[in-house]
Structure 1
Amino acid sequence: MKSTTRGTLAAVITCVAAAASAAVSVTPAAAIGTVPVPVPLDGVENSLGVELPTVGGEIPLPTPGAPEGPRFVEGRFIPDRVVPQLPVAAGLPGLGLRAPLPEVLGADFDHVGLDAPASDLRTQGPGLALDAPFTAPNPDRFGLPDLQTPQVGVIAPVLQAVPGADLGLGEGL
């Protein structure tokens, strides 16, 4: 990696860390599940002398859960779900945007706003279920197992979310 690329990457990470630490002055991030990230545009507004949109976002903090362990099934040599699914609770990032709107629609509408709050996201990673090529000991064969076709199954990952957004017009910015 070139030194200019490293410097740019370090500057971006520093800015994101500074914005995140400034936004979390009242409540610790672990207590709320999301980290608010405001986008400071005040300097651009003052230097250009124009009214700019206000932009802010929310970045969710993923929290891993406890996996459901293997289940023993009668008649199978290997337990069901040998590699269990790992649940992770997080969220989809949120966005808040309020932009000035010229009074085209009348004197009552001064801004357009978009609010897409962070929404919960539940996931479970893929899992693995398999069975051996032989069965449990068979008493009819003096305790020797029977042969069977080996079985392998992949448990599909799961994603569950209900995102939403609000778009509206209103007075003031």
Structure 2
Amino acid sequence: MKPTTRGTFAAVVTGVAAVMGAAAATPAVAAETVPVAVPLDGVERALNLQTPKIAGELPVPMPGGPAGPRHVEGRMLPERVVPQLPVGAGLPGADLRAPLPHLLGHGFEHLGVDAPASALSTLTPGLSVDAPLTAPNPDHFGLPGVKAPQAAVLGPLLKTVPAANVGMGAGA
């Protein structure tokens, strides 16, 4: 093979390897939550008793694209001068299992709380204003008319549906 052919082949193989590596790394980067475990094994061994099992999930906030200003017929200024920015994340999740040494009788050996991470979507506050002039009026030789100025604050939005399960049962 010529040196130029070898160089081109090496560049193509390197590019393919980079694309394959990026494709393999994408799911880890695009994770919505990060698992968090609380290590209590050392306490359990040192004190020779059963400790609670605690784990959680922390959400990773993901900003979205803002809905920019849009023109509305009859207004001089566009609507939503300061656009609202959507941010998607989640509420943290928790999983807790605490041992109960037969306090409530046989069959109740642990207390468990499971609160999975739940989706949370938000919109930041925004601003919409309108000038104290109307659109050009053909009856007034194309000059705009006068009207009361308008201003509106677009309130923030918060949407979520949290859930949790509490239960007791057998087993550790």
TM-score (norm. length: structure 2): 0.81
Residue 74 of structure 1, CA deviation: 0.9
Matches within 5 A, 1:126-165: 126-165=125-164
| Structure 2 unpaired stretches of 5+ | 1-25
Q: Judge which range, 100-109 or 159-168, deviates more.
A: 100-109
User: What's 1:119 paired with?
Assistant: 118
Partner of 1:108: helix, strand, or coil? coil
SS of structure 2 residue aligned to 1:129? strand
Alpha carbons 1:70, 1:84 under 8 Å: kept: yes
CA drift of 1:134 comes to: 1.1
Amino acid corresponding to residue 54 of structure 2 in structure 1:
V
2:6 aligns with none
Indicate conservation of the 8 Å contact 1:111/1:170, yes or no: yes
Unaligned runs of 5+ in 1: 1-26
State how far apart, in whole Å, the 2-side matches of 1:117 and 1:110 are: 22
Distance in 2 between the 1:42 and 1:60 partners?
Answer: 25
Provide the residue aligned with 1:167 in structure 2. 166
Q: Distance in 1 between matches of 2:27 and 2:115?
A: 22
Size of the aligned set, in residue pairs, is 147
In structure 2, C-alpha distance between the alignment counterparts of 1:31 and 1:172, rounded to whole Å: 35
Name the stretch that deviates more: 59-68 or 89-98.
59-68
Deviation at 1:172, TM superposition (A): 1.7
State the superposition RMSD in angstroms: 1.5
TM-aligned CA deviation for residue 144 of structure 1: 1.6
How far apart are residue 29 of structure 1 and its match? 4.5
Distance in 2 between the 1:125 and 1:119 partners?
A: 19
Give the corresponding residue for 1:73. Answer: 72
Q: Any conservation in 2 of the 1:29–1:35 contact (CA below 8 Å)? A: no
Q: Is the 8 A contact 1:33 1:61 kept in 2?
A: yes
- The one-letter amino acid of 1:50's match is L
2:22 maps to none
Identity of aligned residues (%): 61
Asked if residue 110 in structure 1 is aligned to residue 147 in structure 2, the reply is no
| Cα distance between partner residues in 2 of 1:30 and 1:157 | 28
